């Protein structure tokens, strides 16, 4: 059976049908409409999957969970409107040698990796603004240079914070008439742009989580974000370089092209059910769009580019690379 358009690309599934059940049938994962009359909604070869994202009232059969564990499939749980709740991570996603190298990193080694991530984030922020014709970004260039020379994590956090403030002050200039952005707000987002940014950061975080787990890194042991119970600090670290050039650029695209409008939001600034489905489809398409890798100069999807960064991070941690290189775009 051909999967519904937009539901399945490469190795990631999004299951949003309320009341659906995910089961296993031989070598295939099957999504069933248990409460309705449609029966089988879609089926997928189990060996091609590595992540299943489920939203709201979606159920799993016990045999499916067992097979997911055997095949290394990560299950991410969200509320119906996209708030992340937790994950099921298979036992096979651990390798002692890699984890030991990660745990043995010195503070100087952690700082060196973090410097590249933050410098990359600042460079990408400047690039996004430049692509949209925004002027006055020279200060970001200076802050990017400062990030690479900061001698403590606190100094680096200070540089990142200053760069973020300068960048978000200019982000409004990338938006078409009818949309405004004054400042970054969260928990809860205070306007529609902030709501889209927060939602996109959640989904990018899970892209990064999946990549880190695929390459056997501990996502909870960060190099810059402080350790906190339940917080995937390393995923938040690696996500930094993708925020402007992938996440923010995606949000700007959605509103500037009229894919999402103000009428698509509820009073609490969350997307309506129909708009959320459109958002998921567009995000999946976006992650599978191809681009020319700025360093390797070959064609990759955004999703593959994220996973390549997890590989580079692992190699830097295990001393297969002399240093970590962030994914940075200069034009």
Q: Which of 194, 191, 193, 136 has the alpha carbon at shortest distance from 166?
A: 136
| Interval 222-266: pLDDT, tens | 999 988 888 899 999 999 999 999 999 999 999 999 999 999 999
Residue 9 has pLDDT above 50, yes or no: no
Q: Are 64 and 143 within one domain?
A: no
- CA 241/CA 228 separation, integer angstroms: 21
- CA 167/CA 126 separation, integer angstroms: 8
Q: Are 73 and 104 within one domain?
A: no
Quick one: DSSP state of residue 227? P
Q: What is the pLDDT of residue 15?
A: 87
More confident residue, 132 or 61: 132
Does the annotation list 284 as a binding residue? no
Does the annotation list 225 as a binding residue? yes
| Interval 13-24: pLDDT, tens | 888 888 899 999
Q: Are 62 and 201 within one domain?
A: no
Q: What is the pLDDT of residue 221?
A: 95
Q: Are 111 and 225 within one domain?
A: yes
Q: Does residue 326 sit within a domain?
A: no
Structure tokens, 79? 């509320």
Residue 135 has pLDDT above 70, yes or no: yes
Q: Does residue 1 sit within a domain?
A: no
Residue 68: phi, psi to the nearest 5? Answer: -60, -40
Does the annotation list 162 as a binding residue? no
Q: Does residue 5 sit within a domain?
A: no
Average pLDDT over residues 82-92: 75
Q: Are 19 and 58 within one domain?
A: yes
- CA 54/CA 22 separation, integer angstroms: 10
Q: What is the pLDDT of residue 326?
A: 96
| Local confidence band at 6 (pLDDT 50, 70, 90 cut-offs) | very low
Q: Which of 36, 58, 92 is the last residue of a domain?
A: 92
Q: Are 86 and 61 within one domain?
A: yes
- Domain span holding position 307: 100-318
Radius of gyration for the chain, computed over Cα atoms and rounded to the nearest angstrom: 20
**3-class secondary structure, 255:** helix
Q: Are 240 and 284 within one domain?
A: yes
Domain count, the chain: 2
Q: What is the pLDDT of residue 215?
A: 79
- CA 262/CA 186 separation, integer angstroms: 18
- CA 296/CA 52 separation, integer angstroms: 29
Q: Are 206 and 188 within one domain?
A: yes
| Local confidence band at 10 (pLDDT 50, 70, 90 cut-offs) | low
For the chain, give me the number of helices (H) and strands (E)? 10, 11
Q: Does residue 156 sit within a domain?
A: yes
- Cα-based distances in Å from 275 to 12, 56, 86, 266: 20, 16, 23, 10
């Amino acid at each position: 059976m051909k999967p519904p358009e937009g539901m399945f690309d490469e190795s990631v599934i999004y299951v949003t049908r309320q009341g659906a059940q995910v089961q296993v049938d031989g070598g295939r994962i099957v999504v069933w409409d248990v409460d309705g009359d449609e029966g089988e909604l879609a089926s997928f070869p189990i060996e091609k999957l590595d992540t299943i994202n489920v939203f709201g009232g979606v159920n799993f059969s016990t045999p499916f969970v067992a097979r997911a564990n055997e095949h290394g499939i990560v299950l991410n749980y969200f509320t119906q409107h996209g708030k992340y709740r937790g994950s099921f991570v298979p036992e096979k996603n651990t390798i002692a040698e890699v984890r030991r190298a990660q745990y043995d990193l010195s503070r100087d080694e952690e700082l060196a990796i973090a410097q590249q991530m933050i410098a990359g984030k600042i460079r990408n922020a400047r690039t996004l603004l430049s692509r949209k014709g925004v002027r006055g970004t020279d200060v970001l260039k200076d802050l990017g240079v400062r990030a690479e020379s900061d001698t403590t994590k606190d100094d680096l956090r200070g540089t990142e914070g200053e760069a973020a403030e300068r960048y978000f002050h200019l982000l409004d200039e990338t938006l078409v008439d009818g949309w405004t952005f004054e400042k970054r707000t969260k928990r809860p987002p205070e306007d529609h742009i902030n709501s889209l940014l927060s939602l996109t950061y959640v989904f990018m975080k899970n892209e990064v989580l999946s990549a880190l787990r695929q390459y056997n890194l501990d996502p909870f042991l960060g190099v810059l974000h402080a350790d906190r119970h339940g917080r995937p600090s390393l995923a938040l670290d690696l996500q930094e370089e993708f925020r402007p050039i992938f996440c923010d650029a995606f949000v700007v695209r959605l509103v500037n092209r009229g894919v999402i409008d103000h009428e698509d939001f509820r009073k609490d600034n969350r997307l309506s059910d129909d708009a959320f489905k459109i958002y998921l489809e567009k995000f999946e398409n976006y992650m599978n769009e191809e681009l020319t890798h700025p360093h390797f100069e070959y064609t990759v999807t955004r999703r593959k580019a994220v996973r390549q960064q997890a590989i580079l991070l692992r190699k830097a941690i295990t001393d297969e690379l002399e240093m970590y290189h962030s994914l940075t775009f200069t034009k």
